[in-house]
Structure 1
């Protein structure tokens, strides 16, 4: 039987049920490129805190996908490069996302998908990216089985956005995202179905970026990995 998922069109209006300010932030010495590479290598098999809720809804067949978690090596510390999707897209319109997309037949695994999609979406050359590991597969409500590929990005790049898919690209300090005082839990019910999600709102120079859903969940998995290292 097909289950209809309740759409969340204005996630920022969904009530906050709790904030994880009681949890410690990842220490600074664990937020270097080398420290993250070592931790990813040590954790070859681990259970993520958020595996996704793709199994709850059966309105389409599962499909493979991969995203890049691009950590830019700035002098002041690592930042995470994120995108804001355009408003007309069928899936996740207007949401904050990692660059990435569906696995194509010609891709040689999730790393190839993540690098190809990153070049196509934001024009970031793979020559500036050093892949250092992967996070566990995350299952989205739109039935994508997403492999997050973590890469260190050499600064000095110039982006060229695909304006059909990407409205904007921006960077957030990794230390901000790895501090659970900024992790907020949301819950709502619709038609007898409960939905829960995590958010990590970031106030940029000109606007707030509401990081939530699958992107926030995968970042929370990274937090758990680094905080337990």
Structure 2
């Protein structure tokens, strides 16, 4: 069976991910007292493999202090769409500009259980190398995880619904978004075991 990470043609993998996302209908979550937000799942290619970029929130933010997450945040009245929210937040948090981001598609909305945020995730390719300029008020730092690591079931802790990579714990809504993406890639690329 073909595994998406074993494809050596960088452009073909990007097209495959875009095709997977384009040929599905996003599930939206709506309701009263829910706060709209959006995140970007930044993917880049480096040294023969794909990576996903994560950030670690600072201790100065109101919610989710110190947690690993994707760049993103709450929709502002000035944002024309949730995609614009994700792009604006990405630039504010890590300095990646919209002109350098290639949006491939959307995943299903995710609801945070405690804070009532509805998160709309957008999958994107970003250039590498990239010069990140982290906003210290919002982000403590950034790191990447190889996609091959995330797609290996041995690295997913089912009991805690989390990944651990080099001391970083990916859990909560971020892990749920990530699992949705990984499961979709595995199913659509024929690697579901």
Q: Same fold (TM over 0.5)?
A: yes
Partner Cα separation in structure 1 for residue 147 and residue 59 of structure 2 = 26
Q: Give the CA deviation at 1:45.
A: 4.6
Q: Tell whether the 8 Å contact from 1:33 to 1:73 is kept in structure 2 after alignment.
A: no
Q: What are the within-5 Å matches in structure 2 for residues 50-89 of structure 1?
A: 61-89=33-61
Alpha carbons of structure 1 residues 123 and 43: separation in structure 2 relative to 1, 3 Å: same
From 213, 216, 221, give the equivalent of 2:172.
213
1:165 and 2:138 are equivalent in the alignment: yes
Counterpart in 1 of 2:18? Answer: 37
Partner Cα separation in structure 2 for residue 37 and residue 180 of structure 1 = 23
Partner Cα separation in structure 2 for residue 140 and residue 172 of structure 1 = 23
> Alignment RMSD, CA only?
2.4
Q: Tell whether the 8 Å contact from 2:26 to 2:107 is kept in structure 1 after alignment.
A: no
Gap runs ≥5 in structure 1: 1-23, 187-196
Q: Give the CA deviation at 1:29.
A: 4.3
Aligned residues: 182
From 178, 182, 188, give the equivalent of 1:223.
182
Q: Tell whether the 8 Å contact from 1:26 to 1:175 is kept in structure 2 after alignment.
A: no
Partner Cα separation in structure 2 for residue 102 and residue 73 of structure 1 = 28
From 157, 161, 164, give the equivalent of 1:198.
161
TM-score, with structure 1 as normaliser: 0.73
Q: Give the CA deviation at 1:28.
A: 2.0
Structure of higher CA gyration radius:
1
1:28 and 2:1 are equivalent in the alignment: no
Q: Give the CA deviation at 1:46.
A: 6.5
Gap runs ≥5 in structure 2: 189-193
